[in-house]
Amino acid sequence: YPLDRAARANEDTMELVQQYLENYYNLAKDTKQFVRRKDSSPVVQKIQEMQKFLGLEVTGKLDSDTLEVIRKPRCGIPDVGFFS
């Protein structure tokens, strides 16, 4: 585990984003894929998909606007994909 506060916060953010994409944008539930390969094309594609859906600037990066929306309260129904 990271020892410094900034690194820990970053880790929490990554976890939040990963859960968000898994829950609402049908990202495959593969923790390693995201934490280790956050610049991989599937993850970037999912971030872009999320940004496009939510009306954000589509950058594929976790900019401050994107993170702000992710932290807002919301409905628990997935935005895309099947609801099961």
Partner 1 sequence: TFPGEPKWKKTHLTYRIVNYTKDLPRDAVDSAIEKALTVWEEVTPLTFSRIYEGEADIMIIFAVREHGDFLPFDGPGKVLAHAYPPGSGFYGDAHFDDDEQWTKDTSGINLFLVAAHELGHSLGLQHSTEREALMYPVYDPRTDLTRFRLSQDDVDGIQFLYGSPPVSPNDPVVPTESVPPEPGTPAACDPALSFDAISTLRGEILFFKGRHFWRKSFRTFEPEFHLISSFWPSLPSRIDAAYEVTSKDTVFIFKGNQFWAIRGNEMQAGYPRGIHTLGLPSTVRKIDAAFSDKEKKKTYFFAEDKYWRFDEKTQSMEPGFPKQIVEDFPGVEPEVDAVFEVFGFYCFFSGSSQFEFDPNAKKVTHVLKSNSWLNC
Residues at the contact surface with partner 1, assessed by CB under 8 A = 24, 52-55, 69, 72-77, 79, 82-83
Residue 34 to residue 40: CA distance in whole angstroms: 8
- Of 5 and 72, nearer to partner 1 (C-beta) is 72
Q: What's the min distance (Å) between Cβ of 66 and partner 1?
A: 12
Burial classification of residue 20, based on how many CB atoms lie within 10 Å of its CB (0-12 exposed, 13-18 middle, 19 or more buried): buried
